[in-house]
Amino acid sequence: MRAFLEEMFFVPKWYHYPFILLLLPLSILYGIIMSLRRMIISPKEFGIPIISVGNLIVGGSGKTPFVIALASRLEGVVIISRGYGRKSKGLVEVSSEGRILVDVTQSGDEPMLMAQSLPHASVIVSEERALAIALAKEKGAKCIILDDGFNRVEIDKYDIILEPSVVKNYLPFPAGAFREFWFNQKYADIVAKEGEAFHRHVAFENLQPSMVLVTAISNPHRLDAYLPEGVVHKVYLEDHAYFEEEKLKMLLSEHKAQSLLVTEKDAVKMQDFKLPISEMKLKLQIQETIFTQVDEYIKGYRE
């Protein structure tokens, strides 16, 4: 069912359209409600520059590597994320200026990846973004990056939307992948289109002649275009799912593979596993004009 829905959301085939038509009234209603939120709710000013990196679709679009690339250029930055898939609740400090304070079960996979990738930044997870913003200010943050914050309409912020190149269904949930009507991107300060404003580059570590791909990301079929030779089997888990070491050992044995091929997001949940790992590392090449616009926003805010 998950594979069917992901295909329907991103690259629908002819057999998806009866379901899309059935769900269309709900999608229109959902889109109207989300648009009304933007008209009714007044955003609150928090007295600190806040940059949101988000998207309009459910699932991945490169937000995490984009946040890492942006945060690596900023001083005194605190990243705030909801922490999808974590086993904790409430506000949790994941890192403080690069010092890791919790394990991945408390942070979630994406916040942990950001924390480990940014030795000069701090990372906080919280369902209540306002509480995390207050803590960041208390700790002396100079600016804040909201991970996946476009739909947080109650916060006054500078919005960057990432627009992936793979989506062909532009309907709102539940008939499509969009969290709002696609034309609500007009509310963003920057719409960064994949293939124009940013490009993906995938590097590999420890490639082996025979590997099993194991991943717990949204829309995992998007990895297919980047897979190297030697992948003998693929295993897709739910987005943000955790792995069991013994089951992974059995997979290696069953398919006579020499290593597990995983993404960086998956790898942070396997750090204590005594297993051979091959890793896919996604980096983004981002137009310099985007960084310039963010710098101008921060400078103008402080003035």
3-state secondary structure 57-116: ECCCCCHHHHHHHHHCCCCCEEEEECCCCCCCCCCEEEEECCEECCCHHHHCHHHHHHHH
Give CA–CA dist 42/40, Å, rounded. Answer: 7
Average pLDDT, the chain: 94
Dist CA 208 CA 122 (whole Å): 35
Is 146 in the same domain as 294? yes
Q: 106: domain CATH number?
A: 3.40.50
Query: 267 with 211, same domain?
Result: yes
pLDDT at 59 over 80: no
Contacts of 126 (CB under 8 A, 6+ apart): 80, 82, 83, 90, 91, 92, 132
Q: What is the mean pLDDT of residues 10-26?
A: 92
What is the widest separation between alpha-carbon atoms in the chain? 62
Contacts of 184 (CB under 8 A, 6+ apart): 34, 35, 38, 56
**What is the per-residue pLDDT across 94-136, written as a single tens digit (0 to 9) for each?**
999 999 999 999 999 999 999 999 999 999 999 999 999 999 9
Q: What's the pLDDT score for residue 303?
A: 60
Between 35 and 58, whose confidence is greater?
A: 35
Same-domain pairing of 164 and 57: yes
| Strand (E) or helix (H) holding 300 | helix 288-302
193 with 205, same domain? no
**All residues at 6 or more sequence positions from 266 whose CB lies less than 8 Å from its CB, including other chains:** 109, 214, 215, 216, 217, 243
Residue 11: predicted pLDDT: 83
Please measure the distance between the N-terminal and C-terminal CA atoms of the chain and give it in whole angstroms.
Answer: 52
- Which residue has tokens 């940059």? 51
Query: If you average pLDDT over residues 41-57, what whole number do you get?
Result: 95
Give the β-pairing of 99-100 and 92-96: antiparallel
The answer, yes or no, to whether the previous bond of 65 is cis (omega within 30 of 0) is no
20 within some domain: yes
Mean pLDDT value across residues 179-183: 94
At 199 the pLDDT is: 92
> Which pair of tokens denotes residue 166?
């793979």
Compute CA distances 154 → 128, 149, 223, whole Å: 11, 10, 34
Cα–Cα distance list, 73 to 35, 136, 151, 197, 288 (Å): 33, 18, 25, 17, 12
**Better-scored residue on pLDDT, 152 or 218:** 152
Average pLDDT over residues 239-265: 96
13-17, 56-60, 130-134: lowest mean pLDDT where?
56-60
For the cut 80, the answer to whether the pLDDT of residue 66 exceeds it is yes
Least confident of 51-60, 73-82, 108-117: 51-60
In a domain, 76, yes or no: yes
Q: Work out the percent of the chain whose per-residue pLDDT is above 90.
A: 83
Q: Report yes or no on 177 lying in a domain.
A: no
142-153 confidence digits (pLDDT tens): 999 999 999 999
Same domain, 161 and 294: yes
Residue from 155, 163, 157, 218 nearest 192 by CA = 163
**Residue 195 CB-density burial (10 A; 0-12 exposed, 13-18 middle, 19+ buried):** exposed
Domain residues for 258?
A: 201-282
pTM score of the predicted model:
0.93
Asked whether residue 49 falls in the same domain as residue 138, the answer is yes
Give the count of domains, the chain.
Answer: 3
In this prediction, residues 27-32 reach a mean pLDDT of 97
Residue 176 forms part of a structural domain: no
84 and 159 assigned to the same domain:
yes
What is the structure's pLDDT at 229? 93
